[in-house]
Structures are given as C-alpha cells and as structure tokens.
Amino acid sequence: MCGIIGAAGSDGGPDAIDVLFEGLSALEYRGYDSAGVALANSPLEVYKARGELEALRSTVPAAELRGRTTGIGHTRWSTHGPPSDANAHPHTDTDRRVAVVHNGIIENYQSLRDELIGAGVEFASDTDTEVVPHLIASQLDAGAEPEPAFRRAVDRIEGSYAIAAVFEGETGIYGVRNESPLVLGVGEETRYLASDVPAFIAQTDRVVYLEDGEFVHLTGDGVRVTDSSGRPVETSVETVDWDAEDTGKSGYDHYMLKEIHEQPTALRQCLRGRVDELRGEVTLEECSLEDAGRIQFVACGTSYHAALYGAALCRRNGVGATAYIASEYTTDRIPVDEETLVVGVTQSGETADTLRALREAGQAGARTLVVTNTVGSSATRACDETMYIRAGPEVGVAATKTFASQQLALTLLAGELSDSVSYADIKSLRAVPDQIQSVLDTSRARAVAEELVGSDAFFFIGRDLAYPVALEGALKCKEITYEHAEGFAAGELKHGPLALVTADTPVVAVVTGDGSTARKTLSNIKEVEARDAPVVVVTDGQSEAGRYADYVLEVPATDELNVAVVANVQLQLFAYWLANLMGRSIDKPRNLAKSVTVE
C-alpha cells in the first residue's frame, strides 16, 4: 500500500532528493497512484503529482535542491479522495510550516476536519491525512515547539497510522507509528525512515523496527526513540540478511517472472533445518504447538487460499481446522477459548484485516501464531508465536513465491500439529523444489496462453487440495490480466456457474492422481466440454484427463499432498503469459497494493 521514505543527513551528506527518488522507486511495488516529496529547512519545498514517479520527477527542479540533505517522500494508494495532484502527499498547513506524509486510516478525521473548518482552516484536499498538518499548525500557533506540537496532534487522532513530518527551519524528521509499519535505517552519514526495508536497503542493511506508540526524531547526527510519554526507548539494531540485488530483476522482464523462477530456492529455504529425513521428523523450533486444540486460520486474498490449503491438510491429519476470511472473522460469532490456536497467514505481516483478527482472538484468550515472510512485522509482535516462510523479498504485487512457500510451510505446520509425518512424507517434501524446477524448464503455458488470449472469461476448477489452487489461479489471472476469472470447487459448476460456460470461456482444471477425486473432476470436465468450452488441464498424467483436454500442462507425478504446490506453478505461468501478451502492467496491476494496511 502507500509507501514512506525519509532521509535525514548531515552536512556534506548525499542530496536528499536523490535518496528520496531512489527510495520511492524501490517502493513502487507496493502499488500507488500518485507521489510527492518535501525537502526540509527554509523554505519547505513540496512537489507532488498524480501518476507514476516520472510525472513527479518532471516537476522537481533537482539542481535547485542540491545541498539539502533532509526530506520525506510518499507513494499514495487512494483511500480518501481520488488520485490527483491535490490529494497526493505530502500535505502541509496553510502557511507551509510543516509537511506530512501518512500511511493508514485516520478514523476520526471527519470530526477533526469539521472542527478545523469551524476554526477557519481551509482544506486543499479530500484526504484524511490533511487534518494532521493543520492540527500541528494549531499547536504551533499556540506557541508549541515542533516536537510537542507533533505529539499533541498525534494524540488527537484515532486509527492506524505511520506518519513522518518535516518542519520549516529544521533539518530533522519526526515520525510515529500505530498499527502501520515504520522502520529505521541506520547509515553512516544519513538516517532513514520508511514503511519497508527495500526503500533504503541500497544504503544500509542496519535496521530498527519501531513498535506501536513509539515516536522517533531523526537527524544527521543520530536517532532518538521515545514512548508516548516522551521517555527514551532502548532499541536494538538488526542486520537484514538480504541486499539490494535481491530486489532486482536479474535479467527477467518482470519481477513476477523472476519470482516464479525463484520458487525452488524459496522452498528449499523454507524446508532448511525443519525436516529430518533420516528420523522422519518435522521440527519447528521457532514455535511451540503443544496442546493445540481447535485450529482457526485467518487470512486475506492469496494468503486465504494458502489458509484453505493448510486447513484441509490439518483435517486430513485428523486435526479440526477451519479457514476464515480475516475481514469476516469476529469472536462475537466464532467460538474461541484458551484451547483455540488462531493462525494468521500474511505475507507482509502488516495486513490490517488479519492483524485485527489476530488481536481480537488474542484478547478472547486464544493462542495466536502468525505465518509470515517479514521479520519484525506488526504481526510478529502481536502474536504469541511466529513461523517464517523464508521466501525472501517479493516485489511483484501479485504473490507467487510467497504463496508456494506458505503452502509448504503450512504442510509442515499440519504435520507438526498432528504428529503424523513419515519418512516418505519428508522425502516427498524434499523433492518439491526439483519438481517445480522441472515445470519451469518444460512448461507450455506460454503456447497455451497464445491460443486462448482474447477469451471472454476464464474458469478454474479443482477438488480437495486442488480447490484452493484453482481459486489462486483465478486470482492471479484477474489480478494481472484484468479479465474476468473465477475459481470454483469443480462439483459446484453444475449448481449455477455452468450457465456462464460458452465456447469463449476456457475452463482450466487441476486434475492430479487417479483416485475418486480425479474421476469426479473428469466428469466435470466432460460437462464443460459438452458446452464447447476449451479445456486446459493441469495434470500429472495419472488419470485420463489429457484425453478430454484441448490443452495439457504437465506436472511431475508426486505425493498427493504436495502435487498441488507444483500444479500451482503452471497456473502462475499461464496468468503471466496471458497478461504479457495483453501488454498489462504485470508488476504493478491497477488499483492493487502489495501490503494492504487498511481495513
């Protein structure tokens, strides 16, 4: 979602305008529709523009801003008010004494706005954010210095927020977070403030993760972190274990394609140190799962599909488990007690709906575990236990390697919860990365996409463990092609959706193994074939699915518990090549954001 970058440098340090643009460029993956920067000192210089970074860059007189070493920047994903120059951040008070950037939602902004308008303030935007600089200005008018003015303004607002502000005549940055990520970067000459580590990883790998309610003041000389009462907070500097090259394209045309091809490595990282083939054991030392009773998964989007997969695996192993869409989860209607384990699945660890569900479950007495990719994220601090999927940085908005890593991590989790993992299971798990590599090396997804591009809609079907994968395949398709795509449990087609099937609506079926599930799915394939729909099957060749298909995407034969992980890769490649042929913005699909930090 929205991205923040701030840089506070010492005299003679790098020009802030260059650092800000580099940071904003690194944050483009989060999704945005406008951008802006503010340079500190006298006078404050503020530039902002609707559209991509190049639109902003064309408005900034960079040569005139050389020598300024402190500033803030922002990429906006619209919530309050449409994309426009006026609604882009940073926002200022009427006299341009303070400039503010903000991620999150200010829930009481309307009452604050009404109050300020009643006091004679004129607003220049439709945003909730603009109340913040005006609140700060009212404190400055009352005689407060910048820091107490900033604190008093923050005391007035309710909701989720990460805020950074610069003041006229000062060469520092003030920041605060509450339920929205904000991280510090500690460099030699410059200190950084950002919504995510990639914004400054090219400058430093030394980071400090802020906690909710903590304030920070950055200058070229150092960083001071305090609590809501102004008392100093002791912080620890951590070193992140990846560098700027990890977030490059490495010769691929798109981040998404690169990350699809990184899946074998990501899955090996997920398994490393967690499976013992000789002893037939899964060991998740980072989390304690003893005495887990009822299991409830909460997640959104792609992570929800992984949660469905994990819940199905748990039930197969005799462990009662249910997956819930996090925005629909509430302990008012869903039974929770001290024997309940609530598992949040979130790539970023910052997904607002999932965080709310986890916090609510914890307050109701449940134990909470987060399965995430992001060290130091809000979810890791909100939960009792953490399991990292270890996928490495993912830049493309449409999740690929993180979904596969979630699938494998939840396979381990389900095995640990049921204590039912065998030598054969672990041997099968270890084979998955190589099987995915085989798919990447041999896939015909591009050729199939070339045949079907221009279709009216796409339907994806599967049963059992292939059902969540069908849902994910449809989501990938709609995310990056902008075409209508739906995923269904294969048996549900005949209960309504079959009315939509025509010769111009390809049906993509995931059919693996040769048991009753595969045979029933074959019946569903014949139903759509009778309506002249083109049929694509993703299959391991164990059934007769290929006989009834117009197009076949093959996967290696493997254990039934893992084959859906491998099959998913063909669906990712199919969606990618459809979007590529259509000329879509694959890494930054319209209206979407990588980390959804609002409810």
Set 48, 258, 478, 594: catalytic member: 594
Helical H segments across 184-273, by residue range: 255-261, 263-271
Catalytic: 427? Answer: no
Helices and strands, number each (H, E), in the chain:
16, 26
- Is residue 48 exposed (0-12), middle (13-18) or buried (19+ Cβ within 10 Å)? buried
Q: How far is CA 535 from the centre of its chain?
A: 32
User: What region, left, alpha or beta, does residue 181 occupy, with left being phi > 0 and alpha being psi -120 to 50 degrees?
Assistant: beta
User: Three-state SS across 68-105?
Assistant: CCEEEEEEECCCCCCCCCCCCCCEECCCCCEEEEEEEE
Of the residues 2, 270, 314, 477, only one is catalytic, namely: 2
**Tokens representing residue 459 in the block:** 């339907």
586 Cβ partners below 8 Å, 6+ apart?
A: 254, 256, 257, 396, 398, 480, 576, 579, 580
Give me 591's structure tokens: 């209206």
Residue 594 appears among annotated catalytic residues: yes
519, two tokens: 């045979």
Which residue is associated with the tokens 């992980």?
A: 565
- Structure-block tokens of residue 400: 């690929």
- d(CA 131, CA 459) in angstroms, rounded, equals 45
- Residues catalogued as catalytic: 2, 594
